[in-house]
Amino acid sequence: MTVPFLSLKRVSKQYAGVTALDSVDFELQKGEIHCLVGENGSGKSTMIKIISGTIDPDPGSIIEIQGEPVQNYKAINAIDKGIQVIYQDLSLFPNLTVAENIALCELVGDHKRYVQWENMKKIAEKAMARINVSLPLDALVGEISIADQQLVAILRSLTRDVNLIVMDEPTASLTKHEVDSLLAVVKDMKAKGITTMFVSHKLNEVLQIADRVSVIRDGKMIGVYPAHELNDKKLTFLMTGKKVEYRNFTPELKSNVPILECRDLSRAGDYKDISFDLRPGEILGITGLLGSGRTELALSLFGITKPDKGEILINEKNVKIRSVQDALKFGIAYVPEDRHVQGLINVQPVGDNIIITTIDSLVNKFRLIDKKKKRERIQQLVENLAIKIPGVDSPVQTLSGGNQQRVVLAKWIATNPRILILDGPTIGIDIAAKFSIHEIIRELAKQGIAIILISEEIPEVFNNCNRVLVMRKGIIVREFDTAKVTMDEIQDYVNGTF
C-alpha cells in the first residue's frame, strides 16, 4: 500500500471549550488533487492552519509526513518538508514587482545577508517554466489582475522544493475564464508530481478538478470519496446533512409601472449608455465579468459616484441622486460586494451593525437612544432573517459568512427600501447559506420590493431573476427573459463567444 505524503490521525483542536476539530483522520497521497469541502465553520480553516504548522493540535493528535511521525510540528517543519499554503489574501506585496514577489523567499531566506538581485529574474523565470505560464516580471503586483496575482502566489511556492500546495478558496475572486486557467495550472502541477489540497465551496470546480474529496462537518470528518462517485446533490447532502432542494423562482410583478428607470446613463471609464427599467416585485439580474461595469453602475444608483450624463426616474419622476442620503430618501438601499470592508464594522456588536442605518429614528425627545425601541428593532430583524447569533452583543466578526451576510441585509432592510441593490450577495459563503440568502431575496420580492441582483454566477441570476442584463466593457450587450433562455446562452454573451 502506498504511504501517504501527509497523514493526520485523531487530530483534535479546541478553542476555549469549543471543538473546532474532533478526532479527524485525513491523508494526502503524493501527486493527487484532493479537495476539502464543508460549510463555513466546519473546521476547514483549522485543518489548514494545523497542516501549515501555524497552530498546534491538541495533545494526542498525530501528524505524519511520508509515514514518519513529526513531533512538535511547526511551520518550519512544514516548509522543510515542502509544504506551502496559499491563503485567500495571497500575502503578496503590491508595491513590489512580479519578479520580486516570486523570488522573495529565495532572495532573502536562509539567513542570507545580501540580496542577490541579479538572480531575481532567473528564479522567477525558472518557476514560470515549471508550470508553463508567463507573467510580466517588471509589473507591480498591485497593478495586475487577481488571477495573475494567484499565479504569482503559486510561482513563489514553486521557487522551493515543493511537495504539497494547499490552496484556500483560490477561485473566490476569479472569472470563469480565469478559473479554467487556474485549474489547468493545478492539473499541470499534478502531472509534475506535486500534491494539491484544494479548499473550496464551489462544488462544480471541486467535481471538475478533484481526484478525491474529503467532507468535513461540525469538526468531524464525514468521509473521503472518489470524485467520480459524487454529484452536486450528493456532495451538498454530505456537507449539510440535509437535502437542499433548489427550485427556480419567477418573481411576480406587483405593478407594470416601473419604479426605477435609467435612460442613457454614462460615466467615463465605467459604463456607457445604460438604459433599463425595474418594476415592484421584480428581481432584475445584472451579470458580466469583473470590470464589466456592473458594480460601478450600482455605485452610481446609490449616490456614491455620479454619472456624467443620462437620467434616473423613480416612480416616473426625474430625480438627481448626488449622495447616499439622496438614495436613501428615494428608497434605495445597497448591499455591497465586500461585506467585510464595506458592509460591516467587524469589531462592533451584531445589534449595532443592524441599526446603524436607522439610528436617528431611535432617538427620543431627549436626544438619547431609546434602548427599548433599539432592542425590539434588532430582535425583530434577527428573527425575520433567521440570523444565528450567540447574542446581539456578539462581535459580528465571530459569525459565519452566511450570518454576516444576513446582518448586512438586515441593516439595509431596516431602512424599508423600495429598491434593493444586491452586489454579489453570496460571495464567499457555502451552499446552504447561499440557499437561505436566496430564500430571503425571494421573500423580499414577494413583499413588493424591486431588486437588482448583481452576480457573476450565471446560475444565481438565472434561477432567481425575471430578466438578466449582460454587461461587457461598460455596455449592456443583451437583455434576457430567463423563461426563454438557457444558462449556456447567457454564459456565451458574458464570455463574448456568441
Give residue-wise pLDDT tens across range 25-45.
999 999 999 999 998 778 998
Average pLDDT value for residue range 56-81: 94
* Average pLDDT score, the chain: 90
Which residues have CB under 8 Å from 66's CB, separation 6+? 3, 4, 5
Calpha distance 216→59 (Å, rounded): 21
Calpha distance 100→80 (Å, rounded): 22
Could you report the per-residue pLDDT of 246-263, keeping only the tens digit for each? 666 777 888 889 999 999
First and final C-alpha spacing in the chain: 50
What pLDDT band is residue 1 in, cutting at 50, 70 and 90? Answer: low
Nearest CA to 186 among 199, 201, 173? 199
H or E segment to which residue 9 belongs = strand 6-15
Tell me the residue type at 388. K
Average pLDDT value for residue range 150-169: 92
| Runs of H (alpha helix) within 356-430 | 371-384, 401-413
Higher pLDDT, 340 or 474: 474
The residues with which 452 forms a beta bridge, in sequence order, are 284, 421
How many Cβ atoms sit within 10 Å of the Cβ of residue 291?
A: 15
Least confident of 36-40, 106-110, 150-154, 239-243: 106-110
What pLDDT band is residue 108 in, cutting at 50, 70 and 90? Answer: low
Q: Look at the block and give the residue holding cell 469541502.
A: 37
Nearest CA to 313 among 348, 355, 362, 278? 278
Average pLDDT value for residue range 444-461: 94
Could you report the per-residue pLDDT of 293-313, keeping only the tens digit for each? 999 999 999 999 999 999 999
Contact 267, 294 (CB under 8 A): no
The answer on pLDDT for 245 being more than 80 is: no
**Percentage above 70 pLDDT, the chain:** 97
Q: Give how far Cα 136 sits from Cα of 123, 153, 200, 266, Å.
A: 14, 14, 28, 33
The answer on pLDDT for 113 being more than 70 is: no
Query: All domains of the chain, ordered by start, with CATH?
Result: 6-240 (3.40.50.300), 260-495 (3.40.50.300)
How many Cβ atoms sit within 10 Å of the Cβ of residue 113?
A: 5
Average pLDDT value for residue range 364-373: 84
* Cell, residue 306: 455620479
* Cell, residue 92: 503578496
Calpha distance 374→370 (Å, rounded): 6
Could you report the per-residue pLDDT of 275-290, keeping only the tens digit for each? 999 999 999 999 998 7
Q: Look at the block and give the residue holding cell 506585496.
A: 93
Average pLDDT value for residue range 423-443: 87
The answer on pLDDT for 378 being more than 70 is: yes
pLDDT score for 386: 85
What is the value of pTM for the model shown?
A: 0.75
Report strand pairing: 260-267 vs 309-314. Answer: antiparallel
pLDDT score for 105: 80
Report strand pairing: 83-86 vs 18-28. Answer: unpaired
